[in-house]
Structure 1
Amino acid sequence: MWEHSPNRHSRSNESIGEGLSYLNLDNRTKEAEAEPVRYRLFICTLLLLLSLEWIYPVTSSGQQGSERFLLVMAGLTGALLVVGLFRTGWIAGTLIRLCIAFVALCLMYGGQDPLGWGITYPEMLMSDLDTFMQSGHFYSIGTETRGFCMMLGWSMLITSVQSLVLLRLSIMLFGGATLVYLMLLESLAGLDVYTSIVRSVLWIMLIQALLQLLRLSGGVTTPRYALNPYGRWSIATVLAAMAMISFSGLPGHFSSISQPERISLDEIGERLAHWAGYNSGDSIPATASVTGYSTADAPMGAPLTQGDTVFFVAKSPEPTYWRGETRSYYNGSTWSDPAQSFETASPSGLLRTDGWENQNYWTRIQQTVTMQREWKGPNPLFTGGMPLNVSFQDSESVNEKTMLSLLSNRDSATLWLSGSGRRVSVKRYAADVMIPTAEPEHLRLLEAKQRSKDPAEIRRTYLQLPDSLPGRVRSLADEIVKGSETRYDAVHAVQTYLANHAEYTLDTRMPPRGTDFVDDFLFVTRQGYCNHFSTAMVVLLRAEGIPARWVKGFGTGQLDPKVPGQYSITQGDAHSWVEVYFPGAGWMPFEATPGFVIPQATAGTDAGATLLQDAGAQPQLDPWSGASAWLLARAQAIVAAPWLTATALAAAAALFAAVAFGVRRLRPALPLRLLLAWPRSSFPDRERLLRAAAPVWPALARQYGPRPPGMTLREYAASPAVAAGTDSADIARFAADWERLLYGPERPLRADSLDFLRRALRLARRLPRR
């Protein structure tokens, strides 16, 4: 019935028995286990490189902090893989991995003092949990806690993948997921991932080839002379994989190959929509991306849908745009500001003393902002102009702590809540700000009177353009501003051109891979929302030597008809615009998007004009639905009723005890039942069969006594104590089948496996349990 391969293994029955007594399903000696450690370490190194392909594409845009993120995630992944090489219990392994993730979190957000930051983080974590329980929204927690959740999820993924690779000896599932992920990055985010895909294919081929030797060897001990099979196989695998990758690129050196058509999920969706009966002009709604504010510097151009969640409520004597952040560095796909530096604000709240309130082009007003939810760092504070001072509307002690967490940048007029150290939350604050009142005639005359050039620092920072910017963008800028006598005239000319040659819409697409965002907007699509128009305006002005910067924040919001001077600002009011530098006056705001008006802008602007609601800035997702709110309400109701809480706890304890008793009673029969109901046509391999039936041996030892040293399994089954029992026939047959299965073919016949499992199940039911 069973095939027998006596030459496959050469171990003694005694060594077999010792291995079984410890339930070591690998059935190798310590010497054989130690031999492939370096080989498995090599496999894990390649797995590390493949895992980093998930991270590298999204950190290769040059934005601030990307290098630190990549290094920390690489260290975290490497540490997890090293821990996975050792055998630990699940409790110890979980604790070790949790500690590794926490260390990585401290290195990520701790700045120059990771240890000190780590000591204060538990307080931040408890505050975030309290905020989450009150709001029921994941986005309400701080950036650090969201990062911690991400690292814990990454740790679970890497641990599972490593177990799949080393135990199941297959990389195809994770490798396939990696390739799909990279192609989605290319299609949806417009990132250049071609080299990452090539590298990933190389890592997948190497890992799978190395795993194949473990499949073929089956754990056989090899002699220690010359170069062992692991070294020879590794060298041959590396050379073969490199040769295949190199050979795949040879046709491009001998013949001209046309550029492959870009794989785009948007185009696939448009074709399916057309096939379903939509016209070519119809759009497919992007229900996953909702307008809102985000501090992330992600590639721009994704389609959006309008959001209506209230973000904050503000009181202001004049309608204003609400500045959040400014950006000075454009890389062809997104904005960042790696050179921007902040300093701790004055404890008194005074931010600047340069006399702006005395200039003829600005006026001073006071505004009050009330956030819809607790606002924590690292995040910007929103003001309707250039801030002069800030006061937090709390007790003096809380106000003092908050001021210590407030950072200010005078050059960009940006306020920022620090995310390091003792983090505090902000709900309400007041600020004195300067808003511009200059009219077009003032700005035109100012340039003639000043006769001064832009400061060197301004030109060095706010004239930057990427070297890859297409020449036709610069040529277009020359054509637009031709004939402009003043800087204001040039700015107005760019505004007019964008209004006449582009259309406002939220139904957009990401630019093709390797395409400049502005070039694609100006010459290809000619459609977009505020990010498209404002970025194009800044680039066109800089191409003409006019310092300009990109600003993102919120529009005016909706005026409350019942409360004078009170505005509700929603996620749908998120917006981006432009500020242009005028020597002698400073940074003046300009609206680039057609149909939108900056209330405090130049002459002819009606300060009380009703603005269209823009869907700008970066997309933000709301991952929580009404189900979370329902669960939170039920939990609060249970806590409010003590008797109901006690009943629920008692029921939960009884259910847990019943489940524990059931699991204890079914073990080890449960794994055997599952294998007997195996749904696939191909039955589990011999390692799964042996692992499922292994608990029978400890049960036999408890029933008939332990097996004496030196006694084989068949001798133990034929011993007087076992032979006198009622299950002696099944035990003898089980021992014989066990040895045949252990030394037999890799995958035995299904009928033989079923017979073996049924016999093991009968014994598991009759023998005593722990």
Structure 2
Amino acid sequence: MMIQFERFYFAYLLLISYLLVLNVFNTVDLSLPLVVVFGCGILSLLFKRQQLLAGKWLIGLSVVLVLLGVLAFYAPSTGIRTTLTNWSAPVRNALNARGFYQALQHVTPSGPSRTGFSENDGQLGGPLLDDNTILFEATQQRSSYWRVESKDFYSGRGWENTAPEQSQFSRRSPLEHGTTFYQHAFSEPEESTVHFFNHGIYVPLPYGRSIVQATEGTTGFVFLEETGRVNFIDSNNGEKEILNQWSTPDYQLSDLAMIQPQLPLESQVDYLQLPNELPARIRDLAESLTANEETMLGKVTAIENHLKNNSDLRYSKVDTDFPPENQDYVDHFLFDSQVGYCDNFSTAMVVLLRSVGIPARWTKGFAPGDAGQVDSDTTVYTVRNQHAHSWVEVYFDSYGWLPFEPTPSFSNPDRPSTENSSAPADTAEESTDEVDQDTISSEAAESSFEEQSADQETDQRSPENRTLTVLLALAGVIAAGFFVGRRYLLSLQISWFNRFSKEPARRIYPLILKQVEKSIPRQPSETLRAYGKRVEAAESLFTGRFISFIDCYELMLYNKKEFEPLSTSELNDLVSITERLKKN
């Protein structure tokens, strides 16, 4: 049994569009399938029109296929792919922030990892999907990054830790945390209550000095002094709560401006470690960025600002890929892909700093979270998997380890303002979401579509939000144009055939008859003349017109010598009535 399928244009269009998207936004090369599918579409069209053997069609087909083949093979390797990817990146990031890709992953579970805190950072890279699962809620006055731990050993692929010494504290003896890696003054303390849900054993704490006491669901803590990490003693994942007397570091960047680079102490040598095979161009870049800076702060902020404000480096979770097997993770990000999220930017800053002899370490935890006001003095910060984040800590003499933020659109609230400082100020923008490796990752912060925290509110929409709004508005205009134009499609088609067809009547008459049949169906055994009488009886506007049209149509089909087309006014009246039938 032969199946005749004539309306294949849309199916071919969808398939070619899908292959083009895969070819542009993925590393897989689908150039040959594109040529084959396009060629099949042309052949299908020629078979339908029974013009396959016409010489001009074969020549035209050959030219089209050759041109398409050249474009398909060479266009992706030019700037076209980069331009399209960069232009559409805000839309993909916005879809990720809205949970679009996460919803798709429920249908096809295999795919990118999701945002969250990762215990294994040995292999960084790859795309990430947002996960909005709530991990904990903190009730306090000020926002803060939530520090979990730092890592010191960079392998060229990711981060590992040397074995830290552990100290254990019971619930009856509160844990004092933060004074070992920050040695300067603290502000007045405030009380913070943190309620943990099903999140794991690590304890994220705000920057500064914390005096932590367990109040629910746990018997105490384990403190890893070298990395600054605190774990619950209990390994179960039930709900827990802690009470924290928290004091923020009290310093200004201007206080650091006079500190000169100096030889690292013995305890800081591990934080200068780099792979033996680190590519030379990474060191060259670090030296060129810091060559004109004399102070420690100047060198640090020069590298930070290069990463944060460099238009060649693009922030995206869904477009980030893995480096090739034999290429350094930072080298691939800085010089080849130039696309990444917080893990890429923070790791690059640590490696660049170490390349010029500045002790730095990779730090991970969470961005402040989503702020919900309780009263004039207290805010509840809801922290989710998608707020997982990584940043940089740099050692300053007499101050200790201080946080720096190289990731675009992120602003660490624990970083003091640059007032009276020679260092440039950070941009207080809302943050975007992140993801990582294994089942969960090492990044995220406030999405550009989440509410901003109280100290970062602004009436300006993010570039992603503006882009999405424009695209949605454009899609609305196109959709409205489609539905409006669809009602007048017959007139447009007739105008086209009158202008460009050699025999317009042979195209126009069957088209009008087909449109009338959609409103008043014709019976299989019904003759054209009988159908014409029934149409005039059913629709008074056709009276005296449709029978004349049928007579003219039959003459065109069976007696071409006596055929004389309807006048323009008669044809326009017929089309107007037909379009009115479509509206009803």
TM-score, normalised on structure 1?
A: 0.41
The residue aligned with 1:579 is: 393
Separation in structure 2 between the aligned mates of residue 477 and residue 358 of structure 1, nearest angstrom: 28
Asked if the contact 1:368–1:429 (Cα under 8 Å) also holds between the matched residues in 2, the reply is yes
Deviation at 1:475, TM superposition (A): 1.1
Asked if the contact 2:183–2:399 (Cα under 8 Å) also holds between the matched residues in 1, the reply is no
Deviation at 1:587, TM superposition (A): 0.8
The residue aligned with 2:72 is: none
Separation in structure 1 between the aligned mates of residue 363 and residue 306 of structure 2, nearest angstrom: 20
Question: Whose strand proportion is higher, 1 or 2?
Answer: 2
Partner amino acid for 2:272?
A: L
Which string of whole-angstrom CA distances, capped at 9 and with x for unpartnered residues, describes residues 207-254 of structure 1?
Answer: xxxxxxxxxxxxxxxxxxxxxxxxxxxxxxxxxxxxxxxxxxxxxxxx
Deviation at 1:272, TM superposition (A): 9.1
Unmatched tracts of structure 2, length 5 or more: 1-24, 39-75, 93-100, 106-110, 420-424, 442-584
Asked if the contact 1:463–1:548 (Cα under 8 Å) also holds between the matched residues in 2, the reply is yes
Q: 1:383 aligns with which of 185, 197, 205?
A: 205
Distance 1:360 1:608, change over 3 A: farther
Q: How many residues were matched structurally? A: 342
Deviation at 1:455, TM superposition (A): 2.4
The residue aligned with 1:521 is: 333
Partner amino acid for 1:472?
A: R
3-state secondary structure, aligned to 2:432: coil
Asked if the contact 1:436–1:588 (Cα under 8 Å) also holds between the matched residues in 2, the reply is no
Deviation at 1:305, TM superposition (A): 2.0
The residue aligned with 2:254 is: 441
- Percent identity among equivalent residues? 30
Indicate whether 1:565 and 2:379 are aligned.
yes
Which string of whole-angstrom CA distances, capped at 9 and with x for unpartnered residues, describes residues 293-320 of structure 1?
Answer: 2212241111012222222111122110
Partner amino acid for 2:416?
A: T
Distance 1:517 1:621, change over 3 A: closer
The residue aligned with 1:471 is: 280
Give the superposed CA RMSD: 3.4
Deviation at 1:618, TM superposition (A): 4.0
Asked if the contact 2:122–2:160 (Cα under 8 Å) also holds between the matched residues in 1, the reply is no
Separation in structure 1 between the aligned mates of residue 232 and residue 273 of structure 2, nearest angstrom: 27
Deviation at 1:545, TM superposition (A): 0.8
Asked if the contact 2:164–2:225 (Cα under 8 Å) also holds between the matched residues in 1, the reply is no
Indicate whether 1:368 and 2:183 are aligned.
no
Deviation at 1:274, TM superposition (A): 7.4
The residue aligned with 1:502 is: 313
Deviation at 1:484, TM superposition (A): 1.0
Deviation at 1:503, TM superposition (A): 1.1
TM-score, normalised on structure 2?
A: 0.53
Partner amino acid for 1:504?
A: Y
Separation in structure 2 between the aligned mates of residue 591 and residue 413 of structure 1, nearest angstrom: 19
Indicate whether 1:268 and 2:28 are aligned.
yes
Indicate whether 1:304 and 2:118 are aligned.
no
The residue aligned with 1:294 is: 118
Partner amino acid for 2:222?
A: L
Distance 1:490 1:363, change over 3 A: farther
Deviation at 1:489, TM superposition (A): 0.8
Distance 1:480 1:273, change over 3 A: farther
Partner amino acid for 2:297?
A: Y
Separation in structure 2 between the aligned mates of residue 532 and residue 339 of structure 1, nearest angstrom: 24
The residue aligned with 2:432 is: 613
Which string of whole-angstrom CA distances, capped at 9 and with x for unpartnered residues, describes residues 17-63 of structure 1?
Answer: xxxxxxxxxxxxxxxxxxxxxxxxxxxxxxxxxxxxxxxxxxxxxxx
Separation in structure 2 between the aligned mates of residue 497 and residue 607 of structure 1, nearest angstrom: 12
3-state secondary structure, aligned to 1:381: coil
3-state secondary structure, aligned to 2:278: coil
Separation in structure 2 between the aligned mates of residue 427 and residue 309 of structure 1, nearest angstrom: 16
Deviation at 1:365, TM superposition (A): 3.7
Q: 1:408 aligns with which of 198, 217, 223?
A: 223
Asked if the contact 2:144–2:367 (Cα under 8 Å) also holds between the matched residues in 1, the reply is yes
Partner amino acid for 2:402?
A: M
Partner amino acid for 1:593?
A: T
Which string of whole-angstrom CA distances, capped at 9 and with x for unpartnered residues, describes residues 154-199 of structure 1?
Answer: xxxxxxxxxxxxxxxxxxxxxxxxxxxxxxxxxxxxxxxxxxxxxx
Distance 1:363 1:294, change over 3 A: farther
The residue aligned with 1:632 is: none
3-state secondary structure, aligned to 2:197: strand
Which string of whole-angstrom CA distances, capped at 9 and with x for unpartnered residues, describes residues 494-527 of structure 1?
Answer: 0111121411111111000111000001111111
3-state secondary structure, aligned to 1:345: strand
Asked if the contact 1:322–1:383 (Cα under 8 Å) also holds between the matched residues in 2, the reply is yes
3-state secondary structure, aligned to 1:436: coil
Separation in structure 1 between the aligned mates of residue 178 and residue 137 of structure 2, nearest angstrom: 28
Distance 1:482 1:567, change over 3 A: same
The residue aligned with 2:444 is: none
Asked if the contact 2:138–2:192 (Cα under 8 Å) also holds between the matched residues in 1, the reply is yes
Deviation at 1:354, TM superposition (A): 5.7
Separation in structure 1 between the aligned mates of residue 389 and residue 287 of structure 2, nearest angstrom: 28
Separation in structure 1 between the aligned mates of residue 149 and residue 399 of structure 2, nearest angstrom: 20
Asked if the contact 2:410–2:428 (Cα under 8 Å) also holds between the matched residues in 1, the reply is no
